[in-house]
């Protein structure tokens, strides 16, 4: 029998579910006593964990779970500020994954290129359109992506998207299937869960 390899397990301080710690958010206390999101799980010191779920985060604050868990003086926590830290951390991770995709050349930038790739049935995992893309191009791409089906997301404005790629404004990018795309989809899923619950 092959043992399924399991990563280290941690428990959400709110709902008490035990999960692989990569499936949870880690929090630490800064030297001044502020609770911080440690999204990459690399900061030193004792950590507390919640699910990547806004309700678990908010309830942890409401029930003073952080104070109890850290066993030290913790500054009052603003739950919305903490949720925002988490959202920003995920955005940053998405940004860095797009940067990696660009370097590995697993991506296509620009509406013409992406439309071509969608039409030719190229193995795309994800299409990201800018928040300020023209409505007609968005509609065209949506139609093609739906046929794929290829997952779509609407994130960042054209200028930010261009900056991520070291280029002028970009309204569409697509990422080819692969490990990078899988990580990106995972982060996007987390991001959507958080933002939807706002």
| Cβ atoms within 10 Å of 192's Cβ, excluding its own | 12
Classify burial at 3, counting beta carbons within 10 Å of its beta carbon; exposed 0-12, middle 13-18, buried 19 or more: exposed
**Residue 80 corresponds to which tokens in the numbers above?**
């919305």
CB of 49 to Zn ion, least distance (A): 9
Q: Which is nearer to Zn ion, 14 or 171 (CB)?
A: 14
Binding mask 43-62 for Zn ion (x = CB under 5 A): --------x----x------
Q: Compute the distance between CA of residue 102 and CA of residue 21 in angstroms, rounded to an integer.
A: 29
**Please, what's the largest Cα pairwise distance for the chain?**
59
CB of 51 to Zn ion, least distance (A): 3
CB of 23 to Zn ion, least distance (A): 10
End-to-end CA distance of the chain: give it in Å, rounded. 44
Does residue 24 belong to the site contacting Zn ion (CB under 5 A)?
Answer: no
Q: Which is nearer to Zn ion, 14 or 111 (CB)?
A: 14
Binding mask 3-22 for Zn ion (x = CB under 5 A): ---------x-xx-------
Q: Which is nearer to Zn ion, 12 or 97 (CB)?
A: 12
Nearest Cα to 177, choosing from 99, 136, 134, 124? 124
Q: Which is nearer to Zn ion, 56 or 61 (CB)?
A: 56
Contacting residues toward Zn ion, per CB under 5 A: 12, 14-15, 51, 56
């Amino acid at each position: 029998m092959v043992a399924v390899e399991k990563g280290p397990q941690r428990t959400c301080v709110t709902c008490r579910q035990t999960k692989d710690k990569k499936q949870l958010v880690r929090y630490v206390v800064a030297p001044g006593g502020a609770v911080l999101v440690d999204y990459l799980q690399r900061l030193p010191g004792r950590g507390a964990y919640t699910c990547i779920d806004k309700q678990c985060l908010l309830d942890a604050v409401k029930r003073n779970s952080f104070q109890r868990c850290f066993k030290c003086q913790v500054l009052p926590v603003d739950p919305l500020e903490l949720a925002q830290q988490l959202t920003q951390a995920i955005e940053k991770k998405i940004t860095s994954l797009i940067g990696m995709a660009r370097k590995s050349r697993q991506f296509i930038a620009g509406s013409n290129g992406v439309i071509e790739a969608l039409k030719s049935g190229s193995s795309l995992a994800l299409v990201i359109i800018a928040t300020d893309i023209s409505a007609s191009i968005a509609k065209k791409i949506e139609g093609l992506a739906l046929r794929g089906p290829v997952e779509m997301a609407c994130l960042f404005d054209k200028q930010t998207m261009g900056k991520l790629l070291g280029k002028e404004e970009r309204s569409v990018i697509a990422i080819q299937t692969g490990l990078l795309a899988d990580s990106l989809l995972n982060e996007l899923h987390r991001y959507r869960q958080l933002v939807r619950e706002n």
